[in-house]
Every structure is written in structure tokens, then in C-alpha cells.
Chain A
Amino acid sequence: GESVGLHLPTLSVQEGDNSIINCAYSNSASDYFIWYKQESGKGPQFIIDIRSNMDKRQGQRVTVLLNKTVKHLSLQIAATQPGDSAVYFCAESPNQAGTALIFGKGTTLSVSS
């Protein structure tokens, strides 16, 4: 079936480093992509999103890159902090109202001081 997946299950970085979390998706019809952060025992927290008519979008300390040619999505976190430690999921949605998000498998980011 069609799914969204992440390349690495875990990523360990030092505080202050830049982190890059990758995701590959397979549904070429997907129009909307989101990155979520999930801390233990909590629901997903929206980080940043991007639509298929864009290839880059920046937020505060975060950047999402979308490469539709190879169906690849990445999340870049600048100056990673211990508070960024969490599981990160990418999710996709087709261009259809009322359709649920499809989540990737998640990458656990560990930031050491």
C-alpha cells in the first residue's frame, strides 16, 4: 500500500548541532505534508507544513524541504536543543477535504548536552 516512511529510526546529536530528519513518501497524489513532534505520552504537536506547490518553507529554527521528483521530505532543525528531543513524524495528505493524514514511522531524536 501507499505509505510515508522515514529513513532512520533514531538520530543522536549534540546540543547546538543542526539536525536533519528525512522522510520518503510514495503517494504522488499527496498535496500537503506536515512534520509533527511527539513527546512521550502526548499527542502530536504541529511543527511545520508545506504544500506541493512549494519546495522549501522556513519557520523558527526549522526548515522543511520537499523534493517531489524523488518524493522526499526533510526537516532541518537549527541549533538543536535538549528540548527538541522527541519522536518526529512526517505525515501526508492528498488534496481532498476531510481526508485523514498518513503518518510515517517516526524518528527518535536524542539531543545530548
Chain B
Amino acid sequence: GAVVSQHPSRVICKSGTSVKIECRSLDFQATTMFWYRQFPKQSLMLMATSNEGSKATYEQGVEKDKFLINHASLTLSTLTVTSAHPEDSSFYICSAAGSQPTGESTFGSGTRLTVV
């Protein structure tokens, strides 16, 4: 089946630094990738949608200059958290949709970001 690889699984960074998270579709072409954020004991909240070769579409309240998304190829999307602060500490999850029928997405394993 479709596999999405997300790295790193855990990262600890200092306040003010930037962190890059990668999301790769291993055996299919992901025309659309989604980035979610999940705080403890809460649901997944969509941050942004990116289509290959286009600028990402951000959800209301998500700062596009802080959460930089690049989807330069059909198999790779990256999320960069710039100038990270402790409140950015969260679980970040990507999902990818390709040629599957509407709505079907495959999720990555998530990245636990801790900003100290």
C-alpha cells in the first residue's frame, strides 16, 4: 500500500532556531500534501494544504511566514518552523494524496517538536 515517510520523528530545538520536517511519499506521487498539528489530547488540526509546484494554502490563524511549506516535487514536501518558540511545541503530521479517489490520504508517522 501507499507509504508516507516523515522525518525526523522527534526533534528538540532552542527558541529562535528553525526546524525542518520532511514528508516523502515512497511509492506514489503525491499531488497534494496536508500538514496537521496536534496538541496533547486534542484532535488533528489542519495547518495548510500544498499542491506540487504551487504555493501552499494556509488555514485561518496559521502564520505562513512562520510555517514555511515547500512542495517542490511529487514525492517531497517540507515544513519549516521558523524562529521556533515553546508554544510551537506540538506533534506535526503530514498526509499525502495522489491518484487515489477523493479524500483518501496516507499519513506520516508524525514529528514531535519540543522547543526549549
Let me know if B103 and A99 touch, CB within 8 A: yes
Let me know if A96 and B107 touch, CB within 8 A: no
State the CA gap A45–B109 with chains docked (Å): 9
State the CA gap A107–B42 with chains docked (Å): 10
Determine the chain B residues whose CB is within 8 A of the CB of A106 once the complex forms.
42-43
Any A CB within 8 A of the CB of B97: yes
Let me know if A104 and B102 touch, CB within 8 A: no
Mostly, the B contact residues are strand
Let me know if B43 and A98 touch, CB within 8 A: no
Segment at the B interface, from A12-20, A36-44, A59-67: A36-44
Let me know if A97 and B43 touch, CB within 8 A: no
CB of B22 to closest CB in A, whole Å = 14
Let me know if A41 and B43 touch, CB within 8 A: no
Any A CB within 8 A of the CB of B105: yes
CB of A98 to closest CB in B, whole Å = 5
Q: How many A residues, CB 8 Å from partner?
A: 26
Let me know if A96 and B102 touch, CB within 8 A: yes
State the CA gap A42–B109 with chains docked (Å): 5
CB of B61 to closest CB in A, whole Å = 12
Given contacts A97-B102, A98-B31, A100-B34, contact A43 B43 (CB under 8 A): no
Interface residues of B in 22-58 (CB under 8 A from A): 31-32, 34, 36, 42-46, 49, 51
Let me know if A103 and B102 touch, CB within 8 A: no
Determine the chain A residues whose CB is within 8 A of the CB of B105 once the complex forms.
100-101
Determine the chain B residues whose CB is within 8 A of the CB of A31 once the complex forms.
102-103
State the CA gap A32–B51 with chains docked (Å): 21
Partner of B43, one of A95, A96, A104: A104
28 contacts between A and B (CB under 8 A): A31-B102, A31-B103, A32-B103, A36-B107, A42-B109, A43-B109, A44-B93, A46-B106, A46-B107, A93-B102, A94-B103, A95-B103, A98-B32, A98-B49, A98-B97, A99-B103, A100-B49, A100-B95, A100-B105, A101-B46, A101-B103, A101-B105, A103-B43, A103-B44, A105-B42, A105-B43, A106-B42, A106-B43
Could you tell me which A residues sit within 8 Å of B by CB distance? Answer: 31-32, 34, 36, 41-46, 49, 89, 93-106
